[in-house]
Structure 1
Amino acid sequence: MSTGTTAPAPVRSPLPTGLAGATAVLIGASSGIGLAAGVLLRSVGARVVLVGRDPGRLKAAVARVREAGRDENPDDAVVAVAGDGGDERTLDEAFDRAGRTDHVLVTAGGMAGAGPVSGVSRDGLGALVDTRLWPVFAVARAAAAHLSAGGSLTFSSGTLVVRPRPGMSAPLSLAGAVETLTRALAVELAPARQRVNAVRFGMIDTPLLRSIPGMDSDEGVAAAGAGMPLGRVGTAEEAAASALFLMANTYVTGQVITVDGGATLA
């Protein structure tokens, strides 16, 4: 509710086409869902800043995202910043090059930290916090200082948070923390009219999924999705489209939406 001292949050078209002319910073954008988001954003006329650790993959991602542009595709429509998305110097460079920032998407992650709770040491958990949770805070700190009113910050989580498997207590505790942080930041940043949401992804066909033993082939991925309600795993584009929804709809904040093809119902 407006207090009278701050203008209400702006209203824009809730359709993805309303993102034309916006600037989005994508953390973890050299492959998978982050790259797919970059392609979709450029296809509707947004400007994107891609952040990724691997310079070679990042260069290839820039070329792919540029191809998606439907306008004259000026040189600064796709900007690349090579570096760790949790490193404050990398983030400073990314936001400096972005200028006015309307949206931030964080999809960087990994499968590290799996194992029985009896094998989790204090040092090991601390290292996992440094690599999995601190980067989220680092992005949030930077985004809060740069996001425009009505702009959005979107995190990523996974359905194992609500349907955990044995041996995942350490990484899932941190993924759950991201969902809690989403709601807390939505309240904290509301006076600045900045929105914070998260997407809880199910099984999505990305390089990360295909790094799992047994998932490194089309046959393995197809078999994994056969028992799901929709009979398949999701595509990176389908996953990324959910992030664009959260960017475009200026009346959504503090939410964790699930995109899993119904897997959590099975």
Structure 2
Amino acid sequence: MSTAAPIPVRSPLPSGLSGATALLIGGTSGIGLAAGVLLRSVGARVVLVGRDPSRLDAAVARVRAASPDTAPDDVLGVAGDAGSEQTITEAFDRAGRVDHVLLTAGGISGMGLAAELSDDAITVNLDGRVRTAFTVARAAATRLPAGGSLTFSSGALVISPRPGMSALVAAAGAVEAVTRALAVEFAPARQRVNAVRYGRVDTPLLRAAPGLDTDEAMAAAGAPTPLGRFGTAEEAAASALFLMANNYVTGQVITVDGGEFLT
């Protein structure tokens, strides 16, 4: 039986994240960037990791703008591949103390019917999501304090698959399974592991899909959903802040999809 001290009790509200440091891997766009802006607005330090240096610089500037009293060390950027152990180690080293990690990066490629998928397409999906999750988890296990959290991202297609998405669904489903397994492994150190299963959210990634590149197209596509629209990046990111702030949540996969996959 573990003899570690109980996990600390603190405010479960996002304001309780003030002074904490969050490492956002895949934080230069979409949900990851929105999480950075929200975290900085409540007084958290933010470290962004992204592959493209120019996008990273723009994201750092945007997160800095979320708080007028941002000090130079309050928002940092680390350029590199999220699946690289070297990049992740550098990010943790530059951040110093890390209280929370959010992983939204992950390769999506090779969509198509299973009978037509190449081995390379399958590997890209599994490596981009599952291997990257393990790379981040290995680093987080030795760095997070008691009460610290690791949050992964998944997709609502796991519970409502569509033809041609089997490789993507397999990778996202594996991340959800790993989330529960790691929550058990991390528990003796009082570290928490969760995931968010996102539906369709208005991000650059979704707008890159055929026929969704304008406001009018997005509005029309979202109209038939239960809430009449797709979610915003900020609404999606707020779920990650909830999981960071609430010290009594671990091993959970929460769905944020506006009820779309109930229909």
Q: TM-score per shorter chain, which class?
A: over 0.9
Match of residue 76 from structure 1 = 73
Would the aligned equivalents of 2:56 and 2:79 in 1 still touch at CA under 8 Å?
A: yes
SS in 2 for 1:149: coil
1:51 to 43, 49, 52: 49
1:156 to 153, 169, 184: 153
The residue type paired with residue 145 of structure 1 is: T
**Which runs of structure 2 are paired with 1:229-240 in the superposition (5 Å)?**
229-240=226-237
Number of positions where the alignment pairs a residue of Structure 1 with one of Structure 2: 263
Deviation at 1:4, TM superposition (A): 5.9
Deviation at 1:263, TM superposition (A): 0.6
Would the aligned equivalents of 2:20 and 2:98 in 1 still touch at CA under 8 Å?
A: yes
The residue type paired with residue 58 of structure 1 is: L
- Looking at structure 1, the residues matched to 108 and 209 of structure 2 have their Cα atoms a distance apart, in angstroms, of 9
Deviation at 1:170, TM superposition (A): 1.1
Match of residue 119 from structure 1 = 116
Deviation at 1:126, TM superposition (A): 2.7
1:26 to 1, 20, 24: 24
Deviation at 1:109, TM superposition (A): 2.8
1:2-36 alpha-carbon deviations (Å, 9 max, x no partner): x4621001111000000000000000000100000
- Looking at structure 2, the residues matched to 100 and 147 of structure 1 have their Cα atoms a distance apart, in angstroms, of 8
SS in 1 for 2:250: coil
**Which runs of structure 2 are paired with 1:49-198 in the superposition (5 Å)?**
49-70=47-68, 72-198=69-195
2:206 to 209, 219, 224: 209
The residue type paired with residue 241 of structure 1 is: A
SS in 1 for 2:255: strand
Deviation at 1:118, TM superposition (A): 0.7
RMSD: 1.1
- The answer to whether 1:220 aligns with 2:217 is yes
Structure 2: gaps spanning 5 or more residues: none
Deviation at 1:161, TM superposition (A): 0.6
The residue type paired with residue 53 of structure 1 is: R
- Looking at structure 1, the residues matched to 10 and 154 of structure 2 have their Cα atoms a distance apart, in angstroms, of 27
Deviation at 1:113, TM superposition (A): 2.3
Structure 1: gaps spanning 5 or more residues: none
TM-score, normalising length: structure 1 = 0.96
The residue type paired with residue 32 of structure 1 is: G
Match of residue 249 from structure 1 = 246
Deviation at 1:145, TM superposition (A): 1.2
Would the aligned equivalents of 1:28 and 1:106 in 2 still touch at CA under 8 Å?
A: yes
- Looking at structure 1, the residues matched to 19 and 28 of structure 2 have their Cα atoms a distance apart, in angstroms, of 22
Percent identical residues: 70
1:36 to 34, 37, 49: 34
Would the aligned equivalents of 1:110 and 1:208 in 2 still touch at CA under 8 Å?
A: no
TM-score, normalising length: structure 2 = 0.97
SS in 2 for 1:101: coil
Would the aligned equivalents of 2:108 and 2:125 in 1 still touch at CA under 8 Å?
A: no
Deviation at 1:224, TM superposition (A): 1.2
SS in 1 for 2:146: strand
SS in 1 for 2:242: helix
1:70-118 alpha-carbon deviations (Å, 9 max, x no partner): 5x31100000000111111100110001111100001113431211111
Match of residue 14 from structure 1 = 12
Deviation at 1:131, TM superposition (A): 2.5
Would the aligned equivalents of 1:10 and 1:149 in 2 still touch at CA under 8 Å?
A: yes
Against the structure 1 CA distance between its residues 111 and 127, is the aligned structure 2 distance closer, same or farther, given a 3 Å change threshold?
A: closer
- Looking at structure 2, the residues matched to 34 and 125 of structure 1 have their Cα atoms a distance apart, in angstroms, of 25
